[in-house]
Copies of this chain bind each other. A is one copy, B any other.
Amino acid sequence: MKFCPNCGSPNTKRVPPGDAVPRDVCDACGSVHYQNPKLVVGCVPEWDGRILLCRRAIEPRYGYWTLPAGFMENGETPAQGAIRETHEESGARVDLGAPFSMISVPYVNQVHLFYRARLLDLEFKPGEETLETALFEEARVPWKDIAFRTVSLTLKHWLADRARGNFGFHAEDLK
């Protein structure tokens, strides 16, 4: 059972008038509580052809490598969120470029958005949610130890685009 965040009464699960989907509805105060997908924003930080990855110090996927990324917060733009998450997880400061990949993960109600980025210096160090930060050249990317499919897909697109000398925007959906 879920409760109404506005008045604390128990919710009912039903389709509100004019809607098509069952929602958490509060019969006491009349409010309808929608749940929507979340945006995860991050970047591909590059330095001299190498990519900065972070080894996760938290679940899910503790100990696996990821691009810096996290949930976008209210009040910020996706780019601001990507810069903030990058700094929180890796201590890195980046010059953010264009959006590079947008990969939806409908089974966990998320959309992952990664930007291109250039490291401004080498002053990166693990944040609280990170065990280790390191730069990887293409031949050393730890493919078997990448935390998430959205990250390995983004890395593959990035390396392929670099090889052909033209960075695009890649939208796809995981199943």
Q: Which residues of A contact B (CB under 8 A)?
A: 2-11, 18, 20-21, 24, 33-39, 71-80, 88, 98-99, 102, 104, 106-107, 109, 111, 128, 169, 171, 173
Contacts and interface: CB of A to CB of B under 8 A. Distances in A.
Given A2-B5, A79-B104, 11 more contacts: A3-B4, A3-B7, A5-B11, A21-B73, A35-B74, A36-B39, A36-B73, A37-B39, A74-B109, A75-B107, A77-B173
Contacts of A9: 8
B106 A76 contact: yes
Nearest to A72: B37
Nearest to A109: B74
Contacts of A2: 5-6
B5 A111 contact: no
Nearest to A21: B73
A169 B169 CA distance: 8
Contacts of A8: 3-4, 8-10
Contacts of A76: 37, 106
Greatest chain B CB density within 10 A among A5, A98, A169 is at A5
Given A10-B8, A78-B111, A173-B79, A71 B36 contact: yes
A171 B82 CA distance: 14
A3 B164 CA distance: 53
